[in-house]
Chains A and B, each alone.
Chain A
């Protein structure tokens, strides 16, 4: 019930931020459409759905017992996240359902820019809720730092050669910067707004980091299972394991598939997937994911022993 209430409050906050766009109705529609895809998973529609969207607000609520004061910041974080997703869709150009695919790059780019600007506006609205200038500035600084890291991670992902990215250390570094930093930011800002001391803020940030790492690895596992990353010949953890730990014919196949990326190389995606299972590559990725999952659980347990009611965060862990 709490999360349904939080979801409704966030939607109302975002709708208020988008209201000025009504003069350019189609821009308003594009902004809403990009947010709708993100917002649709914000409520627990069924037992399997996690309220990712509400993560910073949940952290805030754990520490403060209420949520209204933090709403502008949470709305701002969501706008930033969605803007990043739109930009990622432009950069990857691999999704037919994305905003750039449906409406073209220029309109998608302008929509992302608009969301970023509205996010900055959202953070300043915290003042109207009585949040001090110092906290508002600290929050904006924090968010900008984290999203700069995200951009650096995305830059690495886009620019590294297959040989360079086919290293587990590099892969982990890239996803830490690109993906985990967003989740870490969400948890950090929730705790910052709640007035937690730096030690507690750091604990929530570490939880967010590990949660983000686990989630990205899970995403990469899923993208191999549904053949998407295989068809795109994208190197993620399962492929990295296979490249490092197979020999002979299997290794040559993986090398041709992911590193050399020969244009004339004919492959059956489901056979590559089967190989990734039979060599243990997928299971290795699942174990690595579990390591980060366990680290996140351990942090929650430590906070629980200190009297922090972290039960709401356990839904994000497997």
Chain B
């Protein structure tokens, strides 16, 4: 299901330098300002930890994950 709050969070982080800086320093503070579900918060923090949300590049995002079925 689409999450308005999650979309808004990502938009703000990537669109506002101040929020980006605050997120890098203390993600939990920024997350608490958006109406995210617990699962969404977990996913943001896990993705940030694994890939570095702000700095993730092609190589990091292209995780070793061959799809079960190659639907193009």
Contact = CB atoms under 8 A, between A and B. Distances in A.
B62 to A, nearest CB: 5
Contact of A225 (B50, B58, B72): B58
Contacts, number: 127
Contacts of B68: 52, 55, 81, 179, 182-183, 186, 211-212, 215
A295 B14 CA distance: 26
Contacts of A85: 69-70
A168 interface: yes
A241 interface: yes
Interface residues of B, number: 36
A286 B51 contact: yes
Nearest to A153: B71
A120 interface: no
A41 B66 contact: yes
A33 interface: no
Interface in A114-147: none
A88 interface: yes
Given A94-B72, A280-B13, A52 B47 contact: no
A255 B40 CA distance: 28
B17 interface: no
Which of B15, B43, B50, B68 is the most central at the interface, judged by chain A CB atoms within 10 Å of its CB? B68
Interface in A212-246: 212, 214-216, 218-219, 221-223, 225-226, 228, 234, 241, 244-245
Contacts of A244: 7
A288 B50 CA distance: 14
Contacts of A81: 68-69
A175 B67 CA distance: 12
B35 interface: no
Contact of B14 (A218, A283, A288, A318): A283
A169 B70 contact: no
Interface of B: 1-2, 6-8, 10-11, 13-15, 39-40, 42-44, 46-47, 50-51, 53-54, 56-58, 61-72
